Structure 1
Amino acid sequence: MKAAYKNILVINLMHIGDLMLVTPVLRTLRSNYPKARLTLLADRKLGDLVAYNPHIDDCILLDKKGEDNHPLSFLHFVQKVRKHHFDLAVNLHRNERASALAAFSGASKIVGYSKPLFSFFFDRVLPNKKAVMHQIHSHFEVLEKTGLIDHIDDGGLEMELPPGAMERAKRIFAEHFPAGKKVIALNIGASWRTKRWLDGYFAEVADHFLRRDYGIAFFGGPMDTALVEACIEKMEEKASPHLHVFTGKLSLGELAGMLKQCVLFITTDSGPMHVGVAMRVPIVTMFGASPVPGFYPYDERDVLIKTPVGCHPCGKHDCPLPGEENMKCMKTMPPEVIIKYAEELLAKYETEAGHLPRAESYVCRVIDLQKEEG
């Protein structure tokens, strides 16, 4: 029988996708502790993703690279956390800063992932099994093995948009695309170079769908601007009035609102991919360096193309292979493969764009090119 915790802290200081993968945990904790006060501690710049989550009561935001990025400021932040008098802290981010925040949170019970230096302060430390199971399932295992929950309430990825974000997104969409235009979203950036599909391949895909009279919308953060520009330079249909670039121009809330209006999302393994899952837009994604079990798009409607190369998943940020072998994982997933499965999803779901119900299953379809070639 689980204890009756009344004041619960969940910590995750990772990037966009990692934070989105915590949302099923928030639903599950709320389902198990309906009367508890539930607080999430996250990176301030990602506040749009979680601040309005219906399953939490409060959101504490840490300015990782700003005002809280100093030893003295961090100590003040720890004191701020301790003033909440949490009786349970669940750490779902295994790095020094998150581990320290959990360890010194003052919570009566502390569980989750931890660096060895801080594990002494934890009541129970568990491994992150993202290499062998989905990251969400590893998080659920933390809750189960520490006796925190009686049941799992998995509603998939969830994101409640900040006030006004959807209205702004609709206005931006209408300013760029005519009414009724079916738009395909592209995200070509990723935190690792080894997660990025070739820009020339993306150019071929964009050209194909523009010729089929779809609109094309490029998304991504400011760091992706040069990648998008290089991609567009390789396009034959770059002058199309139905090609628009929103890279680096949207808040996370606006990005989510824009994706919700698209009929399909073709994307790398990236944070925006998981935002797209939460917005229930059908997805085609390509996995090279990433482990499929840990981070596949969490929706049965989505399609993941798995590279056929033997070194997958390397988990490396840069490909060590020389010459033509460099980035061969991405080179061996040609545009015609992505187009094939994109066409399949469009035929099945494009008329339901923006209105797809919650998935019944969260295991996406995996296309293993190694098996297909064999």
Structure 2
Amino acid sequence: MKPILIIQLQRMGDMILTYPLFLWLQKAYPNHPICFFGEEHICKQVKDFFPGAIFFSWTTLAKVLHTDFFFSLNLSHRKEAARLNYLVRAEQKYGYVENRDGHLYIKGKWQLYRASLVQNNTFNAFHWADLNALDVISLDTIKNHKWSFLTNSLSFPLKLGLFLGASEESKYPNSIFWEELITFFLNKNRKPFLLGGLKEKKLANSLIEKFGLPKSMDFTGKFNLVEFAKSISFFDLFITPDTGPMHIATFMGKQVLNISMGNVSPWDTGPYLPGNMVIRRYTDCFPCWECNFNYECKNNFSARFVCKLFENEGNFEDKEYRLYFVSRKNGLFYLKSKFMYKNDIVREFWFLVFGTLLGLWNEEYQINKILRRISIYDEDIINLLLAQARYCLNEIKVIFKNKEINTNFWKKFDIYFRPLSSYFILEWQNNNFSMSCLKRSIYFLERFIAWLKSV
């Protein structure tokens, strides 16, 4: 049988995040070998996590171009990945692909949806692990996959792995945070072990010296990826701001507490499996694609709240911090919190809307329920969405008549409507303003307006 090709030219964490897709492909296409194309240094490190998979890189490009694939799925946004997706021989192609004229297109409605999240992920609730798969894997396959479910509990584990850093300074706590957390654990007779790469070594040395810890508790800079994965089983709980190590720990079945800060969204890339948790300092601008407020979510991020979580076994929350529990909704990843706020309900609304509009499910009854809840919080949001949808419906006819559009058109709309306006502009361009695309957009908007009017 023809093999399947997954193109992933992004970072290490992005490659690791394809692990659920790999498992689902094995189940859905059991007779098709699964191949990955990635950067060579990443492929060498991750290949042991994907038993039976075939890995290609630029050094073996010729072999890829002479192979007939069942389908190719490009999960990268880099131009060379789109070019490669054009060049490979595949019966079906998904993701970014270049055409013979050098123009970029996106194949697959869920890959198109993910592209619409660029600078626009405030109300996204679809995890990237699910978005990786939804164009080629059925919802039933995802829903029925048997994972090891953990319990949402923080009942004082004995051995804790603390991963000190992340890819960017804005995405991990300062030294004061780690000092407060280590002090707390030591006072409770727990053992905090320090992990990280070479760039975390200096911080680890200072912490070891400050607390008089044995050097054997400092694992920074000592492990390659495979060794790190093997070491995970030693810990009872893994605490990390870095999503790469977090994904490894998650898929190894280890419970994770993700310290989330900076311009990352746990809805997009949080720990995938139920039973894991995310803690975030709440700000009005969360979540964001890029920071415009001097990383307010990182500033003054205190370990005291994390300590209170352990003292209350995860049953504590206040207005300044938000604790999310990884769960499932309609078979897909979903973050739940003990306290629901206005934007959480709006996010759930868009989750149900896009799942319905893109054919995953038919949840009109649930959509109507969510809209009624939104109207209780703020009826103006309903009126705003209705006005924006009607305005968009009027604009469509002019846009399709001229067959051109300003790429910032979607930003003309209020943030509450931008999930749909951002998706629309990409779909229109992607389909060259075809008549079938026009009819589909009008149908979407008419359904959308009908839901709003029913409240």
TM-score, with length taken from structure 1: 0.70
Q: 1:314: which partner in 2? A: 288
**Structure 1 228/128 Cα, relative in aligned 2: closer, same or farther at 3 Å?**
farther
User: Percent sequence identity over matched residues?
Assistant: 21
Q: 2:128: which partner in 1? A: 135
Aligned-residue Cα RMSD (Å) equals: 3.4
CA distance in 1, matches of 2:271, 2:339: 15
Q: 1:65: which partner in 2? A: none
Displacement after TM superposition at 1:184 (Å): 0.7
What SS does structure 2 have at the residue aligned with 1:314?
A: coil
Q: State the Cα deviation string for residues 213-268 of structure 1 (Å, max 9, x = none).
A: 222222122233344446x27x742x122762212210111111111210111110
2:229 is the alignment partner of 1:286: no
CA distance in 1, matches of 2:292, 2:189: 40
Displacement after TM superposition at 1:42 (Å): 2.6
**Structure 1 23/128 Cα, relative in aligned 2: closer, same or farther at 3 Å?**
farther
**Residue identity matched to 1:49:** V
CA distance in 1, matches of 2:341, 2:98: 36
What SS does structure 1 have at the residue aligned with 2:192?
A: strand
Displacement after TM superposition at 1:299 (Å): 2.0
Q: 2:271: which partner in 1? A: 297
2:5 is the alignment partner of 1:9: yes
Q: 1:103: which partner in 2? A: 86
Structure 2 counterpart of 1:53, from 50, 54, 63: 50
What SS does structure 1 have at the residue aligned with 2:279?
A: strand
**Structure 1 13/366 Cα, relative in aligned 2: closer, same or farther at 3 Å?**
farther
Moved more, 81-90 or 115-124: 115-124
Higher relative contact order (CA 8 A, sep 6+): 1
Which runs of 5 or more structure 2 residues have no equivalent in the other structure?
Answer: 149-156, 316-326, 343-455
Displacement after TM superposition at 1:9 (Å): 0.7
CA distance in 1, matches of 2:70, 2:39: 22
What SS does structure 1 have at the residue aligned with 2:298?
A: helix
Q: 1:335: which partner in 2? A: 303
5 Å matches for 1:220-299? 220-229=196-205, 232=207, 236-237=210-211, 239-241=212-214, 244-288=217-261, 289-299=263-273
Give the number of equivalent residue pairs.
307
**Structure 1 26/153 Cα, relative in aligned 2: closer, same or farther at 3 Å?**
same
Q: 1:352: which partner in 2? A: none
Contact between 1:308 and 1:332, CA under 8 Å: does it hold in 2? no
CA distance in 2, matches of 1:368, 1:44: 44
CA distance in 2, matches of 1:367, 1:222: 38
**Structure 1 340/115 Cα, relative in aligned 2: closer, same or farther at 3 Å?**
farther
Bigger radius of gyration: 2
**Residue identity matched to 1:260:** S
Contact between 1:27 and 1:153, CA under 8 Å: does it hold in 2? no
Contact between 1:210 and 1:240, CA under 8 Å: does it hold in 2? no
**Structure 1 217/370 Cα, relative in aligned 2: closer, same or farther at 3 Å?**
farther
Structure 2 counterpart of 1:192, from 158, 168, 175: 168
What SS does structure 2 have at the residue aligned with 1:89?
A: strand
Contact between 2:97 and 2:107, CA under 8 Å: does it hold in 1? no
CA distance in 2, matches of 1:311, 1:27: 35
TM-score, with length taken from structure 2: 0.59
What SS does structure 2 have at the residue aligned with 1:108?
A: strand
Contact between 1:99 and 1:113, CA under 8 Å: does it hold in 2? yes
CA distance in 1, matches of 2:277, 2:287: 18
Displacement after TM superposition at 1:294 (Å): 0.6
Displacement after TM superposition at 1:329 (Å): 0.6
Displacement after TM superposition at 1:20 (Å): 1.9
Q: 1:85: which partner in 2? A: 68
What SS does structure 1 have at the residue aligned with 2:136?
A: helix
Which runs of 5 or more structure 1 residues have no equivalent in the other structure?
Answer: 63-73, 159-180, 348-358
Q: State the Cα deviation string for residues 290-342 of structure 1 (Å, max 9, x = none).
A: 123111211221111122122222333xx654xxxx43212343111112334
**Structure 1 276/119 Cα, relative in aligned 2: closer, same or farther at 3 Å?**
farther
**Residue identity matched to 1:337:** F
**Structure 1 93/342 Cα, relative in aligned 2: closer, same or farther at 3 Å?**
farther
Displacement after TM superposition at 1:90 (Å): 0.8
Q: 1:173: which partner in 2? A: none
**Structure 1 320/283 Cα, relative in aligned 2: closer, same or farther at 3 Å?**
same
**Residue identity matched to 2:18:** V
Contact between 1:215 and 1:243, CA under 8 Å: does it hold in 2? no
Q: State the Cα deviation string for residues 150-171 of structure 1 (Å, max 9, x = none).
A: 842464889xxxxxxxxxxxxx
**Residue identity matched to 1:211:** N
**Structure 1 88/225 Cα, relative in aligned 2: closer, same or farther at 3 Å?**
same
CA distance in 2, matches of 1:107, 1:124: 15
What SS does structure 2 have at the residue aligned with 1:213?
A: coil
CA distance in 2, matches of 1:225, 1:242: 12
CA distance in 2, matches of 1:59, 1:12: 11
